[in-house]
Structure 1
Amino acid sequence: MNPYLALRLFYFFYFGTLGVLVPYFPVLLKHYNLKPSQMGLVMAAWPIAKLVTPIFWSRLADRLNKRNLFMQIGSLLCLLSFLFFFKTTEFKGFLAIMFLFSFFRMVLLPLIDAAALEYCETHNREYGKIRYWGSIGFIAASFLFGWLIDYFSITVILLGISIILFLQMAAIFNLPHSEVIARQKEATFDLGFCWKKAVIGFLIASVLRSVSFGTYDIFFSIWMQSNGYSSSVTGFCWALAVSAEVVAMIYFARLSTKFSLKILMALGLICMSLRWLILSTTAWLPAILFEQTLHAFSFGVYQLAAVAYMYQHTPAHLRATGQAVYQTISFGVGSILGFWGLSVLKEYFGFSYEGMFLICAVIAAMGLFFMPWFQEKPKEKIPEGPVGEEP
């Protein structure tokens, strides 16, 4: 299979899985009568695995120069672990299986991100034009399964995700061989680049951004349901958001030549805060649809700029490790606080969904206070990088 096609297919199926998990897995948990705090903890098992898994596997793969082998084994174990969801309907079972599934899933993205960056550099490709196939996969899955859930039941998502994971594995076995750039066997595990003020401020802002996504990721579909909207309408809203993200990815190269990465990330945080303010004040469908289009900036533009920024501040032979650090801190620590922390806040303090969205708007705005810490290096040729564990 052509390597360019294999990379696009991987992202299509990888984020297609997210297109089912993110909108509908919380609905499945609610179907089995889990409490908000339990739902938050099950979903937090995902980022908890990110605290150790990406850095450990990516560093090991970089040192052994066996990225493809790790990706292939990870994809197989990811599929096998997910099948256990068919055997449980209880909180403890969901929690244990989600952690196991996430442990193997987290092997994949940093390694393929690094491989894709290298492929784009050596073949003069724009990463955004590969990565937006992941967004297309998310759009297709979220829209299709919204309709299937209305027609069948919420449990149909387990079969659907299993099929997608199998197709993802097939794509991985056709990926191009990836070698470490400027690989040094004697190199130590040096994370000194992470302790620069410019990186620390960036990581704090990214954590706050991920925290603010917590209520949206877990409760948006449930909130839509509580306001009388069908799963099909909810799926359309998710698909619209990621469609806007695709447009952002297509035009990101042009935007990045006119605006600094710092400005683009600030714009993303502003749009994110505005999104949650809208959801905290109205359930009117036109307003929701407008809010969803802002995903182009709150996720698409911010994330591409963030990965390019981290790429600038990471030594060449630690590029996979650098991306893993970003994903671990942002989508690991940030998502744990967002998923579990905000869910506990809702359950024990009785906040409404609208109140939770308002809290998230404030959290997103707090990220702007760390913008003065950001410091860009002179521009170099950087592929529009991979965007982590989101569509």
Structure 2
Amino acid sequence: MSPAEFRRYALFYLGYYGALGAYTPYIGRWVSANGHGGYAVGAMLALWYGGRILAPPTWARQVARSPAPGHWLVAGCAVALAVFAGFTRFDHGLMLFVVMGVFALFFNAVMPQFEAMTLNALGTRNHDYGKIRMWGSVGFLLVAASYGWLLDRLGNDAFIWLTLPWLALTAAAAWLHRADPPSPAIDPGVAREHLWRRPGTRRLLCTALLMQLGFGPFYVFYTLQLQAHGHDGFAVGLLWAIGVICEILMFWQAPRLVQRFGAHKLMAACLIATALRWTLVAFFADSFAWMALAQTGHALSFAAFHAGCMRRMAELFPARRDMASAQGMLYGFSGGIGGVLGAGMAAFAWQHGGGAAAFVAGAGCALIALCVHVATQRFARSVPA
């Protein structure tokens, strides 16, 4: 991949995750500031995760049939931008949820497609994926770390207007990929094995789902857990920043780790580290030092694990024609079903046992994922790394 191509792909990740860095931490604050209660906030997040389940598989099928997949990418990003602008007018009533639902469908549809395009462009150098994906983490960090301060000064109504430029950047970056070539046509004389039945696929999907399930307490209650143990807003923001900075550094180093240890061993180490991380958050949340140490684990829990998953996807689905559908399947299982179930599990555990119970449950999910992952070793050995 040439430097110009690298910048083209990195720009999309920067814009997409910059927008996500605004949405994930601050959509609840905006909804609450408009007078809605916890159920409305929960419904908005449920629609978001529901979009991750429904959109990627359907979108992937249409992209696979299209002679111009880049046009689909541009269209999806443009529609997401236009629909999100609807929040400037609709912030109450049924239309609030309609806008959220449509936005979730289109915004969640395009990333699996682009992940597939990135891996296809990298070809045999798929271990370099982390260096490109790192720019998404940079965008997330810039926005998540600064928008709280900006909203305090500009008011919560500025949330939509501050997010729209990042969505516009994503659409502009997608335009640079409008002429990307389609996947090779399927040879009708060759029987195509169903992706779901390919050896190792179901276990990889289950591992990713369980990892995302374990992240449920973190995404929903991490800030509340810290506040309940006496940490102020500055400390909470600093801990989030530590995690994202470690994530960025790991994405830069991930290619070397994947090449040296292989995806299977790296993912196993990530699952062990994640179980330890959630255990620390469960029982030592009153200590800033222990929480800072736990946040460094985000390098393994998120960045290295994600890079390992991408490597395994490239190994399991080397044909370009399969990659978009495979990425949609992974995205729907982990971020979609795993996200919905993880949020529900976290809420139940938090309600009945507090933060300790929620994060112990998250650690348990990571350990179960490790057991499932170990069972894939014989399949990993059968596929060249």
Q: Scaled by the length of structure 2, what TM-score is found?
A: 0.88
CA deviation string 1:25-72 (max 9, x = no partner): 233344456555543332121221122211211221122122111111
> 3-state SS of the aligned residue for 2:111?
helix
Residue 307 (1) aligns with residue 310 (2): yes
CA contact (8 A) 1:37 1:340 kept: no
Aligned length, in residue pairs: 379
Q: 2 CA distance for matches of 1:371 and 1:167?
A: 37
How does 1:224-373 map onto structure 2 within 5 Å?
A: 224-227=226-229, 229=231, 231-281=233-283, 282-316=285-319, 317-343=321-347, 346=350, 349-373=351-375
Cα distance, 1:126–1:321 mapped onto 2, change above 3 Å = same
Structure 2 partner of 1:81: 83
Structure 1 partner of 2:113: 111
Structure 1 partner of 2:57: 55
> 3-state SS of the aligned residue for 2:177?
coil
Q: 2 CA distance for matches of 1:89 and 1:229?
A: 32
Q: 1 CA distance for matches of 2:384 and 2:204?
A: 19
CA deviation string 1:87-115 (max 9, x = no partner): 44457554332221111112311221122
CA contact (8 A) 1:57 1:107 kept: yes
Structure 1 partner of 2:134: 132
Which structure carries more helix by proportion?
2
Structure 1 partner of 2:200: 198
> 3-state SS of the aligned residue for 1:175?
coil
CA contact (8 A) 1:79 1:162 kept: yes
> 3-state SS of the aligned residue for 2:182?
coil
How does 1:176-215 map onto structure 2 within 5 Å?
A: 177-184=179-186, 186=188, 192-196=194-198, 198-215=200-217
Cα distance, 1:18–1:363 mapped onto 2, change above 3 Å = same
> 3-state SS of the aligned residue for 2:200?
helix
Structure 2 partner of 1:387: none
Q: 1 CA distance for matches of 2:248 and 2:314?
A: 21
Q: 2 CA distance for matches of 1:309 and 1:291?
A: 26
Q: Report which stretch shifted further, 305-314 or 153-162.
A: 153-162
CA contact (8 A) 1:3 1:176 kept: no
Amino acid at match of 1:237: L
Q: 2 CA distance for matches of 1:132 and 1:255?
A: 15
Residue 40 (1) aligns with residue 33 (2): no
Q: Report which stretch shifted further, 334-343 or 320-329.
A: 334-343
Q: Report which stretch shifted further, 94-103 or 67-76.
A: 94-103
CA contact (8 A) 2:316 2:383 kept: no
CA deviation string 1:321-370 (max 9, x = no partner): 11111111111111111124433554xx4442333222212122211121
Structure 2 residue runs of 5 or longer lacking an equivalent are none
Cα distance, 1:191–1:279 mapped onto 2, change above 3 Å = farther
CA contact (8 A) 1:119 1:125 kept: no
Amino acid at match of 2:294: E
Amino acid at match of 1:287: W
Shift of 1:143: 1.1
CA contact (8 A) 1:13 1:168 kept: yes
Q: 2 CA distance for matches of 1:314 and 1:125?
A: 15
Cα distance, 1:57–1:300 mapped onto 2, change above 3 Å = same
CA contact (8 A) 2:278 2:359 kept: yes
CA contact (8 A) 2:71 2:178 kept: no
- Give RMSD over aligned pairs: 2.8
Q: Report which stretch shifted further, 243-252 or 226-235.
A: 226-235
Cα distance, 1:363–1:37 mapped onto 2, change above 3 Å = farther
Q: Report which stretch shifted further, 147-156 or 200-209.
A: 147-156
Amino acid at match of 1:325: M
CA contact (8 A) 2:119 2:314 kept: no
CA contact (8 A) 1:150 1:231 kept: no
Q: Report which stretch shifted further, 145-154 or 223-232.
A: 223-232
CA contact (8 A) 1:58 1:324 kept: yes
Q: 2 CA distance for matches of 1:41 and 1:315?
A: 38
Q: 2 CA distance for matches of 1:59 and 1:263?
A: 32
Cα distance, 1:88–1:119 mapped onto 2, change above 3 Å = same
Amino acid at match of 1:337: L
Q: 2 CA distance for matches of 1:114 and 1:260?
A: 20
Q: Scaled by the length of structure 1, what TM-score is found?
A: 0.87
Structure 1 residue runs of 5 or longer lacking an equivalent are 382-391
Cα distance, 1:125–1:193 mapped onto 2, change above 3 Å = closer
How does 1:65-104 map onto structure 2 within 5 Å?
A: 65-90=67-92, 92-104=94-106
Q: Report which stretch shifted further, 73-82 or 17-26.
A: 17-26
